[in-house]
Amino acid sequence: MPDLEQVIRKQEIVKLFRKGIYQYFNYECVYCGNAAESLDHAKPKARGGETITSNLVPACKPCNQDKGSKELFEWYRARSHWTIEREQAIARWIAGE
């Protein structure tokens, strides 16, 4: 069993990891611009996506749930709130730019 100090450090690292992603996108859903409430796997875990910074984007719950395990850009382009600017920002994030 890990000691308490290791557990606390890991929790803090995870918290900072998540906070950095939210801050980069101004705490807004990358898909619709509403307040982000969760992190979405751009490439779903069900399709082999990893839990790494470049594969996580902030999303509101409705967008996150609607996207589910669908292919990101195919799903996003069919949404009424799609914008080229947001799509490009997502693509840059995924590419690590």
Do 31 and 59 contact (CB within 8 A), yes or no? yes
pLDDT digits (tens, 9 = 90+) for 34-72: 999 999 999 999 999 999 999 999 999 999 999 999 999
Q: What is the pLDDT of residues 14-31, one digit of tens each?
A: 788 889 899 999 999 999
CATH architecture assignment, domain 26-95: Orthogonal Bundle (1.10)
Q: Whole-prediction pTM value? A: 0.83
Query: Which letter does DSSP use for residue 9 in this model?
Result: H
- Residue 57 tokens, joined: 């984007």
Find all residues with CB under 8 Å of 37, minimum gap 6, and list them: 59, 60, 61, 64
Q: Where are the domains of the chain?
A: 26-95
